[in-house]
Amino acid sequence: MDIVCLRKLKVNEKAVISAVKAEGELGRRIRAMGLVPNTEIKVIGEAPLKDPVALRLKGFTLTLRNSEADYIFVEQGKS
């Protein structure tokens, strides 16, 4: 299983969050959105210029900028 940055996932790929490396206000905001370790996510879409990206997790859809996704690391092939 590979651990990669969330930004590297393609549409329809699933993964499990392994770590959130953001600190301070950005880290709190990312975690408040439900992006915490051991959460299963699926990339369901991305904008034409690949920013933002739409994720499906815990029964809801969330859009995330690539600048935020860079702080989230996921484990591919675990879900």
> Residue-wise pLDDT tens for the chain (79 aa)?
799 999 999 999 999 999 999 999 999 999 999 999 999 999 999 999 889 999 999 999 999 999 999 999 999 876 5
Residue type, 64: L
Q: Read off the pTM.
A: 0.89
Asked whether 17 and 72 are in contact (CB, 8 A), the reply is yes
* DSSP designation for 50: S
Contacts of 67 (CB under 8 A, 6+ apart): none
3-state secondary structure of 25: helix
Triad 42, 46, 52: Cα angle to 5°: 100
